[in-house]
Structure 1
Amino acid sequence: MTENVIELHDATIMQEQQAVLQGVTFSLEKGAFCYLVGRTGSGKSSLLKTLYADLPLQSGMGTVAGFPLPKLPATKVPYLRRRLGIVFQDFQLLSDRTVAENLLFVLNATGWKGKAQKQQRVSDVLTQVGLNSAANRMPHRLSGGEQQRVVIARAMLNEPVLLLADEPTGNLDPEVSDSIMRLFAEINNAGTAILMATHNFQLLEKYPHRVLTCKDGELLDSTRQPQ
């Protein structure tokens, strides 16, 4: 049997005490790539936040990377997130630290030991995203596309089984967006599942994959019904 990195069954996705999506049932297999689309306010970000336990799953069943979401104790949330990579649109890099220091901060926070091992891991992920030469640069000295590559490198530090990306190309021009999509394809081909929220329908046409659509309080699945 193929292992699923996400399984939701009859889940209700909440945002500020309001149900934004109801009856959400879908699974994502290990190594799969899937888009998440829908209008602003339709529930995309709330669904992603539920998957990485920033919002509680109060109704329905769900597991992510083997962790059950209902009643997941706060002490277990960091262990769930170590199995995930999370890529935000607004980068959230520490502005007072170099690229390498940003990545070391995450390794220290997630319990890595040994200076040499940590430095090697930083070098490995920066090489993976094509930015090994930027290790000692400050984030503000990088272009938007380079900063997003650092964010992706940060997300890959703990070798996640699942990458959750919230509008990762939203602030980037088309050429840079293409380069980010090619990087995602390499990461996906190496075995990491990706769920990517986007407004960019040109990307969906150029790099076709399964599409989940948040619409009228429901989650529609391109593999189950026409969009």
Structure 2
Amino acid sequence: MTDHSEPIIKLDRADIYQGERPVLNDVHFEINEGEFVYMIGRTGSGKSSLLKTLYADLWLHTGSAKVAGYELHKIKRADIPFLRRKIGIVFQDFQLLSDRCVEDNLAFVLKATGWTNPSKISKRIAEVLMQVGLGTSQKRMPHQLSGGEQQRIVIARAMLNEPKILIADEPTGNLDPEVADQIMQVFKTINNAGTAILMATHNHEFLRKFPARVLKCENGSVLEG
């Protein structure tokens, strides 16, 4: 029987490196199922390095971390794709494939993660597009979408495999304030439906408008804000 109270993310005495350089020392925090957590801190404070460590883009050298059931300090390269299926990752730059429509962008991810049944693929794509408020956008090309719409597609893409947590790195950094607020509402809706969210942001307005727990990267440490 699985223990549902186990945190989705748990770090203990973790040191976060960017290349050879330690950027955060002795990091310990937990994020539980369904939580919404902001991560704030100046540019260069280690936010992105910490997020990259959580999805195993950077190796964890010292300390321990467990993300979605995977122990990062022991993870084998072959297991990294399976870890990433359990977490959704949303970047600031949309990284959509510009030569194919929305539906094909999303189908590409599902096929890459082992989905084979075309009707199940179509159904799942329709579900995530509804979740982000773009239910009729399957056939549109990325260049036909506004920045805000592209970011909604990126969020939909991150939700395809029903992750336990979304990790978002400055997801509204390239969007104007009104659109950023709309994207924030999408994240809140997803969170209210039960998916945990860890969002790095520079936007302190969000913390005021959409209050939630805050982790702060400062002077080589991660503090509860």
**TM-score between the two structures when normalised by the length of structure 1:** 0.96
Q: Which residue, 80, 83, 86 being the options, matches 1:80?
A: 83
- Looking at structure 1, the residues matched to 36 and 135 of structure 2 have their Cα atoms a distance apart, in angstroms, of 26
1:135 aligns with 2:108: no
Q: Residue type matched to 2:168 in 1?
A: A
Aligned pairs for 1:1-227 (under 5 A) are 2-222=5-225
- Give the SS at the match of 1:24: strand
Query: Whole-Å Cα distance in 2 between the matches of residues 116 and 89 of structure 1?
Result: 31
Cα deviation for residue 134 of structure 1 reads 1.2
Q: How many residues align?
A: 222
Shift of 1:3: 2.4
Counterparts of 1:219 and 1:175, CA distance in 2: 30
SS at match of 1:21: strand
Other structure's SS at 1:169 match: coil
Q: What secondary structure is seen at the aligned counterpart in 2 of 1:46?
A: helix
Tell me by how many angstroms 1:71 deviates.
2.4
Identity across aligned pairs (percent)?
Answer: 60
The amino acid across from 2:11 in the alignment is L
Structural RMSD (CA): 0.8
Question: In structure 2, how many angstroms separate the alpha carbons of the residues matched to 1:97 and 1:44?
Answer: 32
Query: What is the distance in 2 between the residues matched to 1:186 and 1:36?
Result: 19
The 4+ residue runs of structure 1 with deviation greater than 6 A are none
Unpaired runs of at least 5, structure 1: 223-227
Measured in 1, the distance between the counterparts of 2:190 and 2:42 equals 27
CA distance in 1, matches of 2:59, 2:19: 11
Distance 2:19 2:156 in 1: 31
Contiguous gaps of at least 5 residues in structure 2? none
Q: Which amino acid aligns with 2:134?
A: L
